[in-house]
Amino acid sequence: MTAIAVTIAGSDSSGGAGIQADIKTFAALGVYGASVIAALTAQNTKGVTAIHDVPADFIAAQIDAVFSDLDVAAVKIGMLSQAAAIEAVARGLARHKAKNIVLDPVMIATSGDRLLAAEAIAALRTLLIPHAIVVTPNLPEAAALTGASIARDEREMEIQAREILALGARNVLIKGGHGDGIESVDLLVGDGDVIRLSAKRIATKNTHGTGCTLSSAIAACLAKGMNLAAAAHDAKAYVTTAITLSDQLRVGHGSGPLHHFYAQWSDQ
Protein backbone atom coordinates (compact mmCIF):
# COMPACT_ATOMS: atom_id res chain seq x y z
CA MET A 1 0.00 0.00 0.00
CA THR A 2 1.37 3.39 -0.99
CA ALA A 3 1.50 5.83 1.92
CA ILE A 4 -0.26 9.06 0.91
CA ALA A 5 -0.30 12.42 2.68
CA VAL A 6 -1.90 15.67 1.59
CA THR A 7 -0.81 19.20 2.37
CA ILE A 8 -3.35 21.99 2.62
CA ALA A 9 -1.36 25.21 2.62
CA GLY A 10 -0.08 28.20 0.70
CA SER A 11 2.30 28.08 -2.23
CA ASP A 12 5.79 29.56 -1.92
CA SER A 13 7.02 30.81 -5.29
CA SER A 14 10.65 30.44 -4.19
CA GLY A 15 10.17 26.79 -3.30
CA GLY A 16 11.49 26.83 0.24
CA ALA A 17 8.34 26.78 2.36
CA GLY A 18 4.63 26.05 2.08
CA ILE A 19 3.27 23.51 -0.40
CA GLN A 20 6.64 23.13 -2.10
CA ALA A 21 8.50 22.33 1.12
CA ASP A 22 5.77 19.92 2.15
CA ILE A 23 5.86 17.97 -1.12
CA LYS A 24 9.66 17.82 -0.99
CA THR A 25 9.50 16.50 2.57
CA PHE A 26 6.89 13.86 1.72
CA ALA A 27 9.03 12.68 -1.21
CA ALA A 28 12.26 12.67 0.81
CA LEU A 29 10.60 10.48 3.45
CA GLY A 30 9.09 8.02 0.99
CA VAL A 31 5.48 9.24 1.00
CA TYR A 32 3.32 10.17 -1.99
CA GLY A 33 2.23 13.78 -1.65
CA ALA A 34 -0.97 15.44 -2.83
CA SER A 35 -1.88 19.08 -2.32
CA VAL A 36 -4.71 21.55 -1.79
CA ILE A 37 -3.51 25.09 -2.47
CA ALA A 38 -5.20 27.60 -0.18
CA ALA A 39 -3.23 30.70 -1.15
CA LEU A 40 -0.59 31.87 -3.60
CA THR A 41 2.31 33.96 -2.37
CA ALA A 42 4.81 36.07 -4.28
CA GLN A 43 7.74 35.21 -2.08
CA ASN A 44 11.47 34.65 -2.02
CA THR A 45 14.17 34.17 0.60
CA LYS A 46 13.98 37.87 1.52
CA GLY A 47 10.26 38.19 2.15
CA VAL A 48 6.64 38.02 0.99
CA THR A 49 5.56 40.71 -1.46
CA ALA A 50 1.97 39.64 -2.20
CA ILE A 51 -0.67 37.09 -1.21
CA HIS A 52 -3.53 35.94 -3.44
CA ASP A 53 -6.18 33.96 -1.55
CA VAL A 54 -7.81 31.02 -3.29
CA PRO A 55 -11.62 31.25 -3.12
CA ALA A 56 -13.15 29.04 -0.44
CA ASP A 57 -15.31 27.10 -2.91
CA PHE A 58 -12.24 26.19 -4.96
CA ILE A 59 -10.41 25.04 -1.83
CA ALA A 60 -13.42 22.79 -1.15
CA ALA A 61 -13.34 21.49 -4.72
CA GLN A 62 -9.66 20.54 -4.38
CA ILE A 63 -10.35 18.72 -1.11
CA ASP A 64 -13.22 16.79 -2.67
CA ALA A 65 -11.13 15.87 -5.72
CA VAL A 66 -8.25 14.53 -3.61
CA PHE A 67 -10.21 12.69 -0.93
CA SER A 68 -12.76 11.14 -3.29
CA ASP A 69 -9.98 9.34 -5.15
CA LEU A 70 -6.86 8.98 -2.98
CA ASP A 71 -6.55 6.96 0.22
CA VAL A 72 -5.16 9.78 2.35
CA ALA A 73 -3.47 8.53 5.52
CA ALA A 74 -2.42 11.90 6.97
CA VAL A 75 -3.09 15.60 6.46
CA LYS A 76 -0.77 18.54 7.05
CA ILE A 77 -2.44 21.95 7.33
CA GLY A 78 -0.29 25.02 6.92
CA MET A 79 -1.00 28.59 5.82
CA LEU A 80 -4.70 29.47 5.76
CA SER A 81 -4.75 33.23 5.66
CA GLN A 82 -8.50 33.95 5.91
CA ALA A 83 -11.41 32.72 8.05
CA ALA A 84 -13.33 31.62 4.93
CA ALA A 85 -10.47 29.31 3.96
CA ILE A 86 -10.35 27.84 7.47
CA GLU A 87 -14.09 27.21 7.38
CA ALA A 88 -13.86 25.50 3.97
CA VAL A 89 -11.03 23.26 5.14
CA ALA A 90 -12.80 22.32 8.38
CA ARG A 91 -15.98 21.38 6.53
CA GLY A 92 -14.07 19.46 3.87
CA LEU A 93 -12.05 17.40 6.33
CA ALA A 94 -15.17 16.59 8.34
CA ARG A 95 -17.00 15.63 5.14
CA HIS A 96 -14.31 13.11 4.25
CA LYS A 97 -13.58 11.96 7.81
CA ALA A 98 -9.92 12.85 7.48
CA LYS A 99 -7.49 11.29 9.95
CA ASN A 100 -4.08 12.12 11.36
CA ILE A 101 -4.46 15.89 10.98
CA VAL A 102 -1.26 17.81 11.73
CA LEU A 103 -2.00 21.51 12.16
CA ASP A 104 0.85 24.00 11.77
CA PRO A 105 -0.77 27.33 12.77
CA VAL A 106 1.26 29.46 10.35
CA MET A 107 0.92 33.13 11.26
CA ILE A 108 4.20 34.83 10.39
CA ALA A 109 6.81 33.93 7.76
CA THR A 110 10.48 33.47 8.63
CA SER A 111 11.01 36.92 7.08
CA GLY A 112 8.57 38.45 9.59
CA ASP A 113 5.70 38.96 7.13
CA ARG A 114 2.22 38.30 8.53
CA LEU A 115 0.48 35.37 6.81
CA LEU A 116 -2.73 35.06 8.85
CA ALA A 117 -5.35 37.76 9.19
CA ALA A 118 -5.88 38.70 12.84
CA GLU A 119 -9.61 37.98 12.62
CA ALA A 120 -8.90 34.43 11.39
CA ILE A 121 -7.21 33.35 14.64
CA ALA A 122 -10.58 32.72 16.31
CA ALA A 123 -11.65 30.46 13.43
CA LEU A 124 -8.39 28.55 13.71
CA ARG A 125 -8.91 28.04 17.43
CA THR A 126 -12.51 26.85 17.18
CA LEU A 127 -12.73 25.06 13.81
CA LEU A 128 -9.40 23.31 13.27
CA ILE A 129 -7.52 22.88 16.54
CA PRO A 130 -10.19 20.53 18.00
CA HIS A 131 -9.72 18.12 15.08
CA ALA A 132 -5.92 17.92 15.11
CA ILE A 133 -3.97 14.92 16.35
CA VAL A 134 -1.19 17.44 16.96
CA VAL A 135 -0.79 21.22 16.71
CA THR A 136 2.75 22.46 16.07
CA PRO A 137 3.09 26.14 17.07
CA ASN A 138 6.40 27.92 17.44
CA LEU A 139 6.86 30.24 20.42
CA PRO A 140 5.25 33.36 18.85
CA GLU A 141 2.35 31.31 17.48
CA ALA A 142 1.72 29.65 20.85
CA ALA A 143 1.71 33.08 22.48
CA ALA A 144 -0.81 34.37 19.92
CA LEU A 145 -3.08 31.36 20.38
CA THR A 146 -3.08 31.67 24.17
CA GLY A 147 -3.00 35.45 24.47
CA ALA A 148 0.20 35.26 26.51
CA SER A 149 3.71 36.62 26.22
CA ILE A 150 6.27 34.50 24.39
CA ALA A 151 7.38 31.61 26.63
CA ARG A 152 10.80 32.20 28.18
CA ASP A 153 11.55 28.67 29.36
CA GLU A 154 10.31 25.09 29.17
CA ARG A 155 7.92 25.54 32.09
CA GLU A 156 6.14 28.38 30.31
CA MET A 157 6.20 26.39 27.05
CA GLU A 158 4.38 23.52 28.76
CA ILE A 159 1.82 25.86 30.32
CA GLN A 160 0.98 27.35 26.92
CA ALA A 161 0.88 23.90 25.30
CA ARG A 162 -1.67 22.77 27.88
CA GLU A 163 -3.79 25.86 27.20
CA ILE A 164 -3.86 24.87 23.53
CA LEU A 165 -4.76 21.32 24.56
CA ALA A 166 -7.74 22.80 26.37
CA LEU A 167 -9.00 24.09 23.00
CA GLY A 168 -9.52 20.47 21.93
CA ALA A 169 -6.26 19.35 20.33
CA ARG A 170 -5.17 15.83 21.25
CA ASN A 171 -1.49 16.81 21.42
CA VAL A 172 0.65 19.92 21.09
CA LEU A 173 4.25 20.05 19.89
CA ILE A 174 5.47 23.47 20.98
CA LYS A 175 8.69 24.35 19.18
CA GLY A 176 11.59 26.18 20.77
CA GLY A 177 13.46 27.21 17.63
CA HIS A 178 12.81 30.89 18.38
CA GLY A 179 14.32 30.53 21.85
CA ASP A 180 17.84 31.01 23.10
CA GLY A 181 20.56 28.69 24.36
CA ILE A 182 22.73 26.00 22.87
CA GLU A 183 19.79 23.61 22.53
CA SER A 184 16.65 23.92 20.43
CA VAL A 185 14.02 22.17 22.54
CA ASP A 186 10.53 21.10 21.45
CA LEU A 187 7.98 19.72 23.90
CA LEU A 188 5.36 17.16 22.88
CA VAL A 189 2.51 17.55 25.35
CA GLY A 190 -0.53 15.30 25.50
CA ASP A 191 -2.37 13.18 28.06
CA GLY A 192 0.75 11.37 29.22
CA ASP A 193 4.27 12.41 30.09
CA VAL A 194 5.83 15.40 28.34
CA ILE A 195 8.30 14.27 25.69
CA ARG A 196 11.33 16.53 25.35
CA LEU A 197 12.91 16.65 21.91
CA SER A 198 16.18 18.52 21.81
CA ALA A 199 18.90 19.19 19.28
CA LYS A 200 21.93 21.41 19.17
CA ARG A 201 21.02 24.91 17.97
CA ILE A 202 22.52 25.42 14.52
CA ALA A 203 24.13 28.71 13.55
CA THR A 204 22.75 29.35 10.04
CA LYS A 205 20.50 31.87 8.34
CA ASN A 206 18.98 29.09 6.22
CA THR A 207 15.81 28.42 8.18
CA HIS A 208 13.21 29.30 5.53
CA GLY A 209 10.40 26.73 5.76
CA THR A 210 11.57 25.02 8.94
CA GLY A 211 8.12 24.88 10.53
CA CYS A 212 6.47 23.70 7.31
CA THR A 213 9.05 20.97 6.97
CA LEU A 214 8.71 19.71 10.54
CA SER A 215 4.92 19.44 10.41
CA SER A 216 4.95 17.76 7.00
CA ALA A 217 7.62 15.33 8.21
CA ILE A 218 5.37 14.39 11.12
CA ALA A 219 2.46 13.88 8.71
CA ALA A 220 4.65 11.72 6.46
CA CYS A 221 5.67 9.53 9.37
CA LEU A 222 2.06 9.17 10.52
CA ALA A 223 1.06 8.22 6.97
CA LYS A 224 3.60 5.39 7.15
CA GLY A 225 1.95 4.06 10.30
CA MET A 226 4.18 5.45 13.05
CA ASN A 227 2.73 6.56 16.36
CA LEU A 228 2.93 10.25 17.15
CA ALA A 229 5.88 10.07 19.54
CA ALA A 230 8.00 8.17 17.01
CA ALA A 231 6.84 10.47 14.21
CA ALA A 232 7.83 13.58 16.17
CA HIS A 233 11.22 12.08 17.02
CA ASP A 234 12.01 11.13 13.42
CA ALA A 235 10.70 14.45 12.08
CA LYS A 236 12.90 16.38 14.51
CA ALA A 237 15.94 14.37 13.40
CA TYR A 238 15.14 14.93 9.71
CA VAL A 239 14.70 18.68 10.11
CA THR A 240 17.84 19.01 12.23
CA THR A 241 19.95 17.34 9.56
CA ALA A 242 18.25 19.34 6.79
CA ILE A 243 19.16 22.56 8.63
CA THR A 244 22.69 21.36 9.41
CA LEU A 245 23.36 20.66 5.73
CA SER A 246 21.46 23.66 4.36
CA ASP A 247 24.68 25.58 3.75
CA GLN A 248 25.48 23.08 0.99
CA LEU A 249 22.79 24.83 -1.06
CA ARG A 250 23.20 28.27 -2.65
CA VAL A 251 19.65 29.57 -2.98
CA GLY A 252 18.70 33.24 -2.79
CA HIS A 253 20.17 36.16 -0.90
CA GLY A 254 18.12 36.04 2.30
CA SER A 255 17.04 33.25 4.63
CA GLY A 256 17.66 30.21 2.45
CA PRO A 257 15.83 26.88 2.45
CA LEU A 258 16.61 23.66 4.26
CA HIS A 259 18.31 20.85 2.36
CA HIS A 260 15.27 18.59 2.02
CA PHE A 261 17.06 16.08 -0.20
CA TYR A 262 20.33 15.74 1.71
CA ALA A 263 20.01 11.94 1.66
CA GLN A 264 19.24 11.79 -2.06
CA TRP A 265 21.67 14.44 -3.33
CA SER A 266 24.77 12.61 -2.22
CA ASP A 267 27.01 14.45 -4.69
CA GLN A 268 26.33 17.87 -3.21
Q: What is the predicted pLDDT for the residue at 152? A: 92
Active site residue 212: yes
Select the more confidently predicted residue: 181 or 95. 95
Q: What is the side-by-side order of every strand in the sheet holding 4-12?
A: 47-53, 32-44, 4-12, 74-77, 101-103, 134-135, 172-174, 183-189, 195-200
Boundaries of every domain in the chain: 4-248
Query: What whole-number distance in Å separates Cα of residue 103 and Cα of residue 91?
Result: 15
Task: Tell me the per-residue pLDDT of 110-169, one tens digit each, with 9 for 90 and over.
Answer: 655 666 777 788 899 999 999 999 999 999 999 989 989 999 999 999 999 999 999 999
Catalytic residue among 92, 175, 179, 240: 175
- Answer yes or no: are the C-beta atoms of 264 and 22 closer than 8 Å: no
List the one residue out of 99, 105, 140 whose CA is nearest residue 123. Answer: 105
Helix (H, G, I), strand (E, B) or coil at 260: coil
Active site residue 46: no
Query: What whole-number distance in Å separates Cα of residue 268 and Cα of residue 257?
Result: 15
Superfamily of domain 4-248, CATH level 4: Ribokinase (3.40.1190.20)
Task: Tell me the per-residue pLDDT of 157-204, one tens digit each, with 9 for 90 and over.
Answer: 999 999 999 999 999 999 987 666 678 899 999 988 899 999 888 888
Distances (CA, A) of 262 to 62, 161, 164, 212, 235: 31, 32, 34, 17, 14
- Answer yes or no: are the C-beta atoms of 179 and 139 closer than 8 Å: yes
Helix (H, G, I), strand (E, B) or coil at 253: coil
Catalytic residue among 10, 78, 209, 256: 209
Catalytic residue among 15, 176, 212, 240: 212
Active site residue 210: yes
Active site residue 213: no
Residue type, 179: G
Residue type, 109: A
pTM for the full model? 0.95
Active site residue 209: yes
Catalytic residue among 136, 210, 213, 240: 210
Q: Which of 42-51, 61-70, 160-169, 176-185 has the lowest mean pLDDT?
A: 176-185
Catalytic residue among 7, 41, 146, 207: 207
Identify any residues that bridge with 198 across adjacent strands, giving them in sequence order: 185
Other C-beta atoms lying within 10 Å of the C-beta of residue 167: 17
Active site residue 99: no
Helix (H, G, I), strand (E, B) or coil at 83: helix
Q: What is the predicted pLDDT for the residue at 71? A: 98
List the one residue out of 80, 43, 44 whose CA is nearest residue 62. Answer: 80
Average pLDDT score over residue span 79-101: 96
Residue type, 71: D
Work out the burial of residue 254: count CB atoms within 10 Å of its CB; fewer than 13 is exposed, 13-18 middle, 19 or more buried: middle
